[in-house]
């Protein structure tokens, strides 16, 4: 049954408004969507978002330890995940928040269809790479990444008005577009759609990944299998 399921990643910033207030209306919409498609979703990974970066930046100004900043971001993401799990209720969602992919995998075997929510796992690992790891360990499930942009562009759309959204990209394309790897290491709380760890997991398991706008309408279309956003396509595919 799990082979037909999907893993859903929700960017933490989608849960908050511009002034960092909890966006209760949007969260309720997410819960309704996840409840409607609970038979199609194996796990939901939630990011730390703006609130995590707020705390991380404050800590960075007083203490330069990247690991401590990472730990803080992980805890915020887990609080976000716990909030969504509690709103789903015990009948539909496991109320604990796993701290590793192994723990999540073990839970999936005994939960009788309940959705598992989680946030970050380890220092130095983004929640997007957690989502890739979870999709891989649960059997190379499709991963849908809901974020605050509607896909991958050929260049930064915030800086280039002529930026073009891409329907399909390869991991190599993303490395080139985002300039990740080499000397450009990712700092705690720094937001990128995908990082080197995520891309390495995608490449080694040829994961089916789709990056979409994180509104409920678009997420619903993605869960239904429609072609929205940008698909990460492995190099060897035609």
Rounded Cα–Cα distance for residues 10 and 13 (Å): 9
CB contact at 8 A, 47 and 13:
yes
Specify whether domain 2-232 bears CATH 3.40.1160.10.
yes
Q: What are phi and psi of 75, to 5 degrees?
A: -65, -40
Specify the residue for token string 């705690």: 188
* Continuous H helices in the chain: 24-36, 49-62, 66-88, 101-108, 127-137, 171-178, 196-205, 216-223
Residues in the chain: 238
Residue with tokens 């492995």: 234
CA-based nearest residue to 151, from 164, 170, 161: 164
Other residues' Cβ atoms within 10 Å of the Cβ of residue 199 = 23
Identify any residues that bridge with 7 across adjacent strands, giving them in sequence order: 43, 143
The answer to whether the predicted template modeling score (pTM) of the entire model surpasses 0.95 is no
pLDDT in tens, 203-236: 999 999 999 999 999 999 999 999 999 999 876 5
Tens-of-pLDDT digits for all 238 residues of the chain?
A: 344 799 999 999 999 999 999 999 999 999 999 999 999 999 999 999 999 999 999 998 987 688 999 999 999 999 999 999 999 999 999 999 999 999 998 888 788 789 999 999 999 899 999 999 999 999 999 999 999 889 999 887 878 889 899 999 998 888 888 775 544 555 554 446 788 899 999 999 999 999 999 999 999 999 999 999 999 987 655 5
Angle (CA) 45 48 52, round 5°: 165
Give CA–CA dist 33/217, Å, rounded.
Answer: 9
Tokens 């970066």: give the residue.
Answer: 53
| Segment 39-54, tens digit of pLDDT | 999 999 999 999 999 9
């Amino acid at each position: 049954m799990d082979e037909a399921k999907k893993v859903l990643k929700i960017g933490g910033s989608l849960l908050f408004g511009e002034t960092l207030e909890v966006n209760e209306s949007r969260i309720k919409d997410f819960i309704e969507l996840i409840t409607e498609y609970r038979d199609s979703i194996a796990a939901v990974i939630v990011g730390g978002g703006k609130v995590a970066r707020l705390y991380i930046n404050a800590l960075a100004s007083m203490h330069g330890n990247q690991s401590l900043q990472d730990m803080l971001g992980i805890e915020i993401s887990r609080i976000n995940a716990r909030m969504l799990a509690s709103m789903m209720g015990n009948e539909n969602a496991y109320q604990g928040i796993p701290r590793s992919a192994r723990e999540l995998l073990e839970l999936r075997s005994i939960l009788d269809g309940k959705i598992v929510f989680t946030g970050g796992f380890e220092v130095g690992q983004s929640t997007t790479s957690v989502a890739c790891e979870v999709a891989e360990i649960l059997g190379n499930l499709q991963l849908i990444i809901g974020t605050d942009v509607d896909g991958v562009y050929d260049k930064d759309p915030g800086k280039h008005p002529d930026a073009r959204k891409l329907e399909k990209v390869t991991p190599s394309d993303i490395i080139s577009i985002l300039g990740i790897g080499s000397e450009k290491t990712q700092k705690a709380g720094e937001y990128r759609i995908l990082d080197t760890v995520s891309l390495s997991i995608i490449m080694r398991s040829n994961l089916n990944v789709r990056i979409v706008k994180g509104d409920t309408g678009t997420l619903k279309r993605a869960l239904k299998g429609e072609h929205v956003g940008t698909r990460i396509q492995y190099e060897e595919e035609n």
